[in-house]
């Protein structure tokens, strides 16, 4: 998701810039001013409560704003992102926005402040008042609205400056110039967006082979806990020695070790367009760990893909592998294979169930040749890139 807030005094051009951005980036536009005017036109209780305040150029209560904005956000939670115009306008609303973003498991990418001096704001709004039909576009009300802006809204900027997600743009320039400056900020934000994919599938479903090739094709970093653990064992590192026995009996490695390995990997990977996680998260605890690790990097899960293969097919694939040179230590007996299947069923299926309530889990038919399955998963990843 791409979530942007446009900030600035009345008349700075937030509405004009919003029209261009909404079209270009396919965002859902939320103007609290427009929503309030709709409530007034619809004759609702909310509109009735807001009407007199708006007419005088004051700010309506945060309670009213929560109600109108929450409804719109929840109804449009599947959109590519939100563009906020005229919100947040108070300190309290900055917290409301943060809470709403958490509810959607996303965050605000950037607050873009369109700067304009007071007299220029007045001139522009007086000019607009000739045609806008807005009763609050007259000089006395305009002065009130600006006073509210400087007293209550401008201090909110500090919240976003402190978070490092703030960009200022000189709004005196032409519409095209301002738009090109805003666009630069957004492009920069988009380049930070990573595509993070979690690949599920029972042992033997082909997630490993698919994951490696997908990572190569799309410039993603492949993170396989199994491979990382094996490397540690091969290196006979401290971690390797600790996990060797558990590994061979098909048990899961301790989370403290996995966290360390992934942390290192995320830290040391520069320039990847994102990550493909295979074999992680395997438990509910690990699903929380992954959220935390990604959040530390200003990122989040983008897509969940579940490669579905009937258990008997997967068992027979693993049995086949146990006889060739790709055999893993834990493929070597039916007991071990069954053990891993049990662990998956007991601990990993609940993770997929959890994700189903939070994300759109894409099920991919994993039966067929490698190329057939690869094409199916590739299509999903391309959709993921388009949605970024």
Chain positions contacting ligand AMP, by CB under 6 A: 10, 32-33, 36, 53-54, 57-60, 65, 86-87, 89, 93, 136, 145
- Distance in angstroms (rounded) separating the CA atoms of residues 149 and 163: 21
Least Å from the CB of residue 139 to ligand AMP: 14
Work out how close the CB of 12 gets to ligand AMP at its nearest, in angstroms, rounded to a whole number.
10
Say if strands 82-85 and 28-31 run parallel, antiparallel, or are unpaired.
parallel
Smallest separation (angstroms) from ligand AMP to the CB of 381:
38
Cβ contacts of 181-188, under 8 Å, gap ≥ 24: 182/17, 182/21, 182/112, 182/114, 183/24, 185/110, 185/112, 186/2, 186/4, 186/21, 186/25, 186/110
Closest-approach residue to ligand AMP (CB): 33
Query: Which lies closer to ligand AMP via its Cβ, residue 57 or residue 279?
Result: 57
Complex with ligand AMP: residue 30 or 294, whichever CB lies closer: 30
Q: How far is the CB of 363 from ligand AMP (least distance, A)?
A: 41
Residue 156: which of 8, 2, 3, 4 has the closest Cα? Answer: 8
CA distances from 114 to 15, 18, 82, 120, 168 (A): 11, 12, 18, 13, 6
Please tell me whether residue 4 adopts helix, strand or coil conformation. Answer: strand
Structure-token pair, residue 329: 């230590």
Whichever of 59 and 225 has its CB closer to ligand AMP, that residue is 59
For the purposes of burial, counting CB atoms within 10 Å of the CB of 80, is it exposed (0-12), middle (13-18) or buried (19 or more)? middle
Q: What's the rounded Cα separation, in Å, for the pair 284 and 353?
A: 10
Q: What is the nearest approach in angstroms of ligand AMP to the Cβ of residue 15? A: 7
Question: Considering the complex, what minimum distance in angstroms separates the CB of residue 123 from ligand AMP?
Answer: 16
Is the Cβ of residue 65 or residue 73 nearer to ligand AMP in the bound state? 65
- Closest contact distance (angstroms) between CB of 354 and ligand AMP is 34
* Closer by beta carbon to ligand AMP, 86 or else 281: 86
| Of 91 and 374, CB closest to ligand AMP | 91
DSSP letter (8 states) at residue 56: H
Query: CB-wise, 32 or 299, nearer to ligand AMP?
Result: 32
């Amino acid at each position: 998701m791409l979530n942007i807030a446009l900030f600035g005094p009345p008349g700075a051009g937030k509405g004009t810039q919003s029209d261009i951005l909404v079209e270009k980036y396919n965002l859902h536009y939320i103007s609290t001013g427009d929503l309030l005017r709709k409530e007034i036109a619809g004759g609702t209780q909310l509109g009735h409560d807001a009407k007199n305040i708006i007419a005088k150029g004051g700010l309506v209560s945060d309670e009213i704003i929560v109600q109108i904005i929450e409804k719109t956000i929840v109804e449009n939670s599947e959109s590519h992102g939100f563009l906020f115009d005229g919100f947040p306008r108070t300190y309290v609303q900055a917290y409301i926005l943060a809470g709403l973003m958490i509810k959607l498991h996303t965050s605000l990418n950037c607050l873009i402040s369109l700067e304009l001096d007071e007299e220029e704001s007045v001139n522009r709004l007086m000019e607009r008042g000739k045609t806008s039909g807005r009763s609050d576009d007259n000089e006395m009300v305009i002065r009130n609205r600006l006073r509210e802006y400087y007293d209550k809204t401008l201090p909110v900027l500090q919240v976003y400056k402190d978070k490092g997600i703030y960009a200022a743009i000189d709004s005196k320039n032409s519409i095209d110039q301002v738009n090109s400056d805003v666009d630069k900020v957004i492009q920069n934000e988009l380049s930070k967006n990573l595509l993070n994919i979690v690949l599920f599938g029972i042992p033997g479903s082909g997630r490993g082979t698919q994951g490696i090739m997908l990572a190569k094709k799309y410039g993603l970093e492949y993170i396989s806990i199994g491979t990382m653990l094996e490397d540690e064992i091969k290196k006979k590192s401290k971690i390797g020695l600790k996990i060797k026995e558990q590994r061979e009996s098909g048990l899961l490695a301790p989370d403290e070790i996995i966290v360390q390995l992934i942390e290192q990997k995320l830290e040391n990977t520069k320039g990847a367009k994102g990550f493909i996680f295979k074999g992680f998260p395997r438990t509910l605890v690990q699903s929380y760990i992954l959220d935390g690790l990604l959040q530390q990097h200003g990122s989040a899960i983008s897509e969940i893909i579940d490669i579905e293969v009937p258990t008997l097919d997967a068992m027979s694939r693993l049995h086949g592998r146990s006889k060739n040179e790709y055999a893993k230590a834990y493929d070597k007996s039916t007991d071990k294979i069954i053990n891993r299947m049990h662990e998956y069923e007991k601990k990993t299926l609940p993770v997929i169930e959890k994700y189903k309530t939070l994300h759109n889990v894409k099920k991919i038919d994993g039966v067929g040749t490698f190329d057939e399955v690869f094409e199916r998963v590739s299509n999903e990843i391309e959709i993921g890139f388009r949605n970024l």
